[in-house]
Structure 1
Amino acid sequence: MSDSRYSYDENAEVWPYFAMTLLSLVLLPSTWKAAIRAVKPDKDYSPKFENGYKPENYEEVEKFRKKNRKSKIFTKTNIFIAIGWIILVVVAYFIHTQETPEDRKRFDPYEILGIPSSATEREIKSRYRKLSLKFHPDKIRNIVNTTREVMEAQFVEMTKAYKSLTDEVTRNNFNEYGHPDGPQPMKHGIALPKWLVEERGTPLVILGYSCLVGVALPFVVWNWWSGTKQYTKNRIHTVTAANIFEAFAKSNLDNFAFEDLIRLLANSQEYKILIPGISSDTVYDYLSAYLSREKVEDELRKLAVVSRSVAILDGMLDIASAFKNATLLRKIISLTQAFTQALPPESNELLQLPKVDKEHIIDSTSSTLKSTFCLSDEEQKEVLGITSDDDWKIARAVAFQIPTIEILDAFFKVPGETVVTPQSIAHLVIKFRVSNPGTTLPTPDPKDLEEVDNALTIKKPLSTNDIAPQVEAIYAPYLPVYIRPKWTVLLVNPRENRIVEPPSNVTRMYIDGSVTTYKIQLSAPMPDQIGQYRFLVEFRSNAYIGADAVRSVVLNIEPAPKVEEIEDDISDPEEDSIAGAMAQLRGGKTKRRPLDDMSEEDSEEEEESSSEEEDSDTDINTDTEDEEEK
């Protein structure tokens, strides 16, 4: 019969194990994730070019970077993990040093009597008699009450042990239930001390429960919900996204100037959250000063504003893609390049090199990186306005780090097919390679430009996009934060100046001159009219000015190739054969017998019938003749 009363963990027998299990379930996966984060290489803000060049605000930029660079070790998560492990070690030590209660020991009559399990009944009785003389209550005199109670308890245990080995009923209880007294009552234990649940601990329990359910849980849910609702999937504020969408919807997008984009950027909600009380005009002044590479009184605040600009521009590009205006998308990407290199939009690409003479380039040249570094050394210095050999080497080293995209080929492909047919689902295949200014690559191997179908590319056409290595960090000495270098790919209908697919990003490519393949899965089916359609494929860099590439691509919609009819080895049965009759019953096809076969069989049947007639005529005549003779 079970005992319905609850027992509390007054002796700390259960709750340490419960606490240790709970801590282990939380700490083990958390520690594993923290270890992975610690081993992961740092995402540096920009590559460290050991060329000695430092921008005008180098000290402020480095100060801002160090202030915002997060430590991998001393984080809030790691501190909580360390505290958890300390508590776990303390609990484990407590369990290790805790003595096992007597009532939790297994009842062993041989151990209690101090005899081997092979002892005979006579030896058992002899041993019990000796212990009785020592521990019997009547034999105990002149001892304190505590010792008397202990010895009386030992005598009771010895009696139970003796009976479990000699008395039949007691032995059966021990063999069946593991205890001489038979089945023991079941206890419903609570892994908490009694004082925490009843009387003195009640206010503490109520307070803890109220804080957990009434404060902590609602705060966590509200924090998660507000974070989800306040920012879009591109991590820009919903108020900012609404303002950008409204501005694009009410404007002539072809005439949207860079000035308008910067004003729209300055009105973002992120800046007001970052610096409470700041106005959009002040943000605009900071952004304009940054693009002009001018220092302001509060340079760190300016850098804090600039640190959010590229991320907001990425969100702006995503919103603009819904309007499909190619001119607007190009301007937003150009503005992103300008913020990365701290230059006015559409500046000469040579200005992003260090040590160049800004005024000389603006006044006297329209050269590009590629054309400049194909010249002789002295001509390069003249174009860049550099007189020092050391300065020229610094500028040249940075220029050779800027990748230049060369689109070798672009075509549309239906997986597993040789032509693109009407209403088919195709993808755009782009073959390109990367070079550097002043580097001349050899003619590519025609085999590298072919697109060969196999089981993997037919099943997963875009799997080839992840083969090339990740693009290295960008050179952006003025930008106070790290951004991942990427090329935004636009597929443009030049007649309507509209994109036909949402922009996609290329972040993987070979930089050794090898051919890289990039594919875009087209969301809409091909046109239903046979003919040629011309598009533009544009690679737009988010980091470097002049690192873009454009190529024309023609879409040929052709009729589906005719499928040749293959004759079956097993022909249909003839209609007047047994197989033909069975086929007709089943609703199958049959064929008529050839005329030659029919004429031969008919002639044979006629010969047989004529011979039968002659035979019959002969018999009749013979009989008649016989009768006449008679």
Structure 2
Amino acid sequence: MSDSRYSYDENAEAWPYFAMTLLSLVLVPTTYKAVSKLSRSSDKGPPELESQYKPPNYEIIKRFRKKSRKSSLFTTTNVLLLAGWIIFFGVAFFVYTQEAPDDVQRFDPYEILGVTYTASEKEIKSKYRKLSLKFHPDKIGNNLGNSTREELESQFVEMTKAYKSLTDEVTRKNYLDYGHPDGPQPMKHGIALPKWLVDEKGTPMVILAYACLVGIALPFVVWQWWSGTKKYTKNGLHTVTAANIFEKFAKTDFENITNDVLLDLLSDAEEFKILYPGITNEEVHAHLNTYLSREKEQDAADEIKKLGIVSRSMTILEGMLDIASSFKNVDLIRTILLLTQSFAQALPPNSHELLQIPFLDEKKLACLKVKTIKELVAMGDDEQRKVLGIESAEDLKALKSFESQIPSVEILKAFFKVPGESTVTPGSLAHLVIKFRVAFPGTKLSPPELKDLEEEDSPETLKKPLSTNNKAPALNPVYAPFLPIYLQPKWNVLLINPRENKIVEPPTSITHVYTNGDISTFKVQLSAPLPDQLGKFRLLIELRSNCFIGVDALSSVYLEISPPQTTEEEIDDDISDPDEDSIAGAMAVMRGGKTKRRADEDEDEDNEDENESSSDEEDSDTDINTDTEDEGDS
């Protein structure tokens, strides 16, 4: 009967593995979540091309950006994760350097005797005889060397067991069945804890630790996770803020939702009450107005608070756009997108696009003859110096650096397409294809080739039509001088039904484009099948930037729904040749067509009787098809 007594992990044989298992169960998913959060962060560090223009509060903005990047990395969770991984690898190193105890060594008779696994029985006996002459208790005498008599006698017993495991039938069967010549070994039910933790003195400590872990720590972690998932939407918007925005949009006429209304909704966001306890809506509103006026707060602490409110406002505006999309009103969506551009450039809503240029204010704007950024950029350096009042070469360099990151977008062609089809038919699932190009100042654009404006099907696009959306390189973060974060640029795509003044699909984002003038392709998958109504319908496409004012693009696109086309070739392929002994076959012979013989004729029976019976059956079976063909011909 096997020994089933419990043993404690006095030699640290099991608890390291137990500890590594528990640590990995916590560290792996938490690390994955933390890495995903960092990779999704919009503040990815300075852009490659940072303007040399520095606003009056540049040093404070610089410190805020540096602190934001540092705080996003050195959070409490990340510090605990780092400590957890240090402990994990420390335990792993301990396991790696720990030698296995003697009582768990595997019994290998070949290794004990020092013979190969292919040794014959004669070789095994010869080897054992030699070892017996050396290690037999009667032969040892006083030649103990560095070992004791007990050690040598024990070694000889192991040799004898090994020899019998390979030569004695009963002993060999025990070795093959149980891995040991003595048969089944005692089973140890080990506890992965040292004995002092479980004895009378350590029991209260273990119970207390278990109670803290299961009764306090685990429920707290689960509650934190649950409340966190329920407190914020997938876009990072607080649920209270989202509810207030939705209620305002639902109860207010869209034409009455102005920039002031949106700023009031921003000021009332729950995020600011959590970020700055005790702050009022009026204080938040005042900070937002100060920022949009490009003014600096008198107190440094208030300036830091203003920057924190502005950086969080960009996330809230994204969530606000998502909520507005469910109402499908174009004017509401445009108002939010224009306000987002104003926040990016720190300008009051509906400001002139030229005001985002450094060194340019309202007074200088009134004296300018140019009305667009494109016209200003096209001016020579000397003329820009004159109209903007730039004196130093450093300021001119800063101006050029800022201008070089302002893109221009041109929609070259837009059309609807059904993958694998040449026409768009009723009830089909189509997608909108937009061919466009983006260029920065100084890029020479040549007329596009017609072949580049077409969209050819390939095995990849047939399987994944939207795979071309990320084919181009991702856009680099832009440098907006007054914005406390580095903004990831994108164009929001609006597909608009002008008759109803509603969007057809929720806004989608273009983040991957060619910036050297090459043609980029972006596709919008329509979420619903096309209507059954035939005809040509005019829609609008808008590409609206989230960073710059005045770089948007607008174009018409026509959705032409045509009836399904069936070619004569397809009809011939679908209808097989009629049997030669049917009425349809006879008519086909008269027209000079082809017929086929019946494959189910029984050659063993009389041909004439079989033809008569089969002809009668075929006539009755093919009458319906014949009538159908006649009706079609008539």
| 1:585 partner amino acid | E
Q: Which amino acid aligns with 2:317?
A: L
Kept after mapping to 2: 8 A contact 1:489/1:505: yes
Out of 574, 595, 598, the position equivalent to 2:581 is 574
Assess, with a 3 A threshold, how the Cα gap between structure 1 residues 338 and 366 changes in structure 2: closer, same or farther: farther
Report if the CA contact (8 A) 2:50-2:401 is conserved.
no
Which residue is 1:6 aligned to? Answer: 6
State the partner residue of 2:336: 332
Q: Distance in 2 between matches of 1:41 and 1:335?
A: 22
Distance change >3 Å, CA 295–CA 235, structure 1 → 2: same
Match of 1:266 in 2: 267
- The 1:23–1:101 alpha-carbon spacing in structure 2 relative to 1, beyond 3 Å, is farther
CA contact (8 A) 1:163 1:171 kept: no
CA distance in 2, matches of 1:243, 1:525: 33
Contact 1:313 1:336 in 2 (8 A): yes
Asked whether the 8 Å contact 1:433–1:513 carries over to 2, the reply is yes
CA contact (8 A) 1:457 1:463 kept: yes
1:301-380 alignment runs, 5 A limit? 301-362=305-366, 367-380=371-384
Is the 1:241–1:316 contact (alpha carbons within 8 Å) kept by the matching residues of 2?
yes
Where 1:532 maps in the other structure, the secondary structure is strand
Kept in 2: contact 1:12–1:193 (CA 8 A) = yes
> Counterpart of 2:226?
225
User: CA contact under 8 A between 1:37 and 1:72: conserved in structure 2?
Assistant: no
Q: Which residue of 1 aligns with 2:138?
A: 130
Corresponding residue number in structure 2 for 1:619: none
In 2, Cα distance between the equivalents of 1:452 and 1:127?
85
Q: Distance in 2 between matches of 1:445 and 1:183?
A: 82
Distance 1:120 1:453 in 2: 77
C-alpha deviation, 1:163, in angstroms: 9.2
CA distance in 2, matches of 1:103, 1:544: 71
Please state whether the residue corresponding to 1:263 is helix, strand or coil.
Answer: helix
Q: Distance in 2 between matches of 1:490 and 1:592?
A: 51
Instruction: Give the C-alpha shift of residue 343 in structure 1.
Output: 0.7
How many Å apart are 1:28 and its aligned residue?
8.7
Structure 1 pair 393–481 and aligned structure 2 pair: CA distance change class (3 A):
closer
Shift in Å at residue 556 of structure 1? 1.8
Encode CA deviations 1:2-45: one digit per residue, 9 max, x unaligned.
12322223333443455567668887999999999999999544
Deviation at 1:276, TM superposition (A): 0.6
TM superposition shift of 1:177: 2.9
1:62 match: 62
TM-score normalised to structure 2 length: 0.79
Is the contact between residue 109 and residue 162 of structure 1 (CA under 8 Å) also seen in structure 2? no
Alignment map for 1:420-569 (pairs within 5 Å): 420-437=424-441, 441-564=445-568, 565-566=571-572
1:41-120 equivalences under 5 Å are 44-47=44-47, 49=49, 52-70=52-70, 75-76=78-79, 77-93=81-97, 95-96=98-99, 100-101=101-102, 104=105, 106=107, 118=126
Distance 2:195 2:553 in 1: 76
The sequence identity of aligned pairs, in percent, is 50
* TM-score, normalised with respect to structure 1: 0.80
Q: Residue 530 of structure 2 aligns to a residue in which SS?
A: coil
Sort the Cα spacing of 1:28 and 1:173 in 2 relative to 1 into closer, same or farther, 3 A.
farther
Q: 1:56 Cα deviation (Å)?
A: 0.8
Please tell me whether the aligned partners of residues 573 and 590 of structure 1 are also in contact (alpha carbons under 8 angstroms): no
1:177 aligns to what?
174
RMSD of aligned alpha carbons = 4.0
Query: 1:212 aligned to 2:209?
Result: no
SS in structure 2 of the partner of residue 589 of structure 1: helix
- Alignment counterpart, residue 300 of structure 1, candidates 301, 304, 324: 304
Larger deviation: 350-359 or 171-180? Answer: 171-180
1:194 CA displacement: 2.5
Question: 3-state SS of the aligned residue for 2:521?
Answer: strand
Task: Determine if contact 1:575/1:591 at 8 Å carries over to the other structure.
Answer: no
Summarize the Cα distance change of 1:383–1:415 in structure 2 as closer, same or farther, 3 Å threshold: farther
Equivalent residues of 2:42, 2:488 under 8 A apart: no
How far apart are 1:397 and its partner, in Å? 3.2
Partner of 1:589: 622
Cα pair distance change 1:361/1:2, threshold 3 Å: same
What is the rounded CA distance, in whole Å, between the counterparts of 1:87 and 1:129 in structure 2?
A: 44
1: CA distance, partners of 2:504 / 2:244:
25
Secondary structure of the corresponding residue to residue 70 of structure 1: helix
Distance 1:171 1:116, change over 3 A: closer
**Separation in structure 2 between the aligned mates of residue 525 and residue 155 of structure 1, nearest angstrom:** 88
Structure 2 vs 1, CA of residues 132 and 181 (structure 1 numbering), >3 Å: closer, same or farther?
Answer: farther
Q: In the alignment, is the contact (CA less than 8 A) between 1:575 and 1:592 conserved in 2?
A: no
Structure showing greater relative contact order (alpha-carbon pairs closer than 8 Å, 6 or more residues apart): 2
Contact 2:137 2:153 in 1 (8 A): no
Q: In the alignment, is the contact (CA less than 8 A) between 1:420 and 1:426 conserved in 2?
A: yes
Following superposition, the deviation at residue 151 of structure 1 comes to 5.8
Using the TM superposition, give the Cα deviation of residue 200 of structure 1 relative to its aligned residue in structure 2, in angstroms: 2.2
Paired position in structure 2 for 1:622: none
* 8 Å CA contact retained: 2:426, 2:530: yes
Structure 1 residues 519-554: Cα deviation after superposition (integer angstroms, max 9, x where no partner): 111112223222221111000111000110001112
Q: Distance in 2 between matches of 1:326 and 1:35?
A: 37
Say whether the 8 Å CA contact 1:45–1:480 is kept in structure 2: no
Using a 3 Å threshold, how does the CA distance of structure 1 residues 496 and 123 change in structure 2: closer, same or farther? closer
Query: Which one has a bigger Cα radius of gyration?
Result: 1
In structure 1, list runs of 5 or more residues that go unmatched.
136-146, 594-630
**Equivalent residues of 1:236, 1:311 under 8 A apart:** yes
Residue equivalent to 2:203: 202
Q: Secondary structure in 2 aligned to 1:559?
A: coil
Contact 1:355 1:392 in 2 (8 A): no
Does the C-alpha gap of structure 1 residues 584 and 405 become closer, same or farther in structure 2, counting only changes over 3 Å? farther
**Equivalent in the alignment of 2:15:** 15
Amino acid at match of 1:533: F
